[in-house]
Amino acid sequence: MKRQVQTDKAPKAIGPYSQGIVANGFVFCSGQIPIDPATGELNNGTIEEQTRQVLKNVAAVLEAAGSSLEEAVKCTVFLQDMNDFAKMNAVYAEFFKAPSPARAAVQVARLPRDVKVEIEAIALVK
């Protein structure tokens, strides 16, 4: 069985996908970009500001699924520019404490709405 995760505390899905799916004791959080769910506005700020908004969105989806950032086991970070890695990583470290989830970080050719960062996560459901 699987169930869809839906919350107003994260940006609404803008295509044929779910904010998250719970299956077999895990929640699979779709990639989040820096949209403020309260306003629907895109955060066009610095990599630090965008990363902070993205991780707030990830946290909201995980919480709606009955999980949290503390339960995250794997994240994937997509960066527009790998030169932003250190700045993104500093903000990321504010949100994830030891033991940190496994992670991959990759530079991509382009992200939705030309944002600087997108992050997806897999976490245990409590």
Which structure tokens are listed for 50? Answer: 């965008």
Q: Can you give the pLDDT at residue 12?
A: 93
The 10s digit of each residue's pLDDT in 109-124 is 999 999 999 999 999 9
For position 13, which CATH number holds? 3.30.1330.40
Confidence category of residue 14, pLDDT binned at 50, 70, 90:
confident
Q: Which residues contact 71 (CB under 8 A, 6 or more apart)?
A: 62, 123, 124, 125, 126
Q: Can you give the pLDDT at residue 95?
A: 98
Q: Can you give the pLDDT at residue 59?
A: 98
- State what percent of residues in the chain have pLDDT above 90: 98
Q: How far apart are CA 120 and CA 30, in angstroms?
A: 5
The 10s digit of each residue's pLDDT in 38-89 is 999 999 999 999 999 999 999 999 999 999 999 999 999 999 999 999 999 9
Q: Which domain holds residue 108?
A: 2-124
CA atoms within 13 A on the CB side of 4: 8
* Integer CA distances (angstroms), 110 to 8, 10, 87, 118, in order: 26, 22, 19, 10
The number of distinct structural domains making up the chain is 1
Q: How far apart are CA 76 and CA 85, in angstroms?
A: 13
pTM of the complete model beyond 0.95 = yes
Mean pLDDT of the chain: 97
Mean pLDDT of 82-108: 97
Q: Can you give the pLDDT at residue 126?
A: 85
Q: Can you give the pLDDT at residue 70?
A: 98
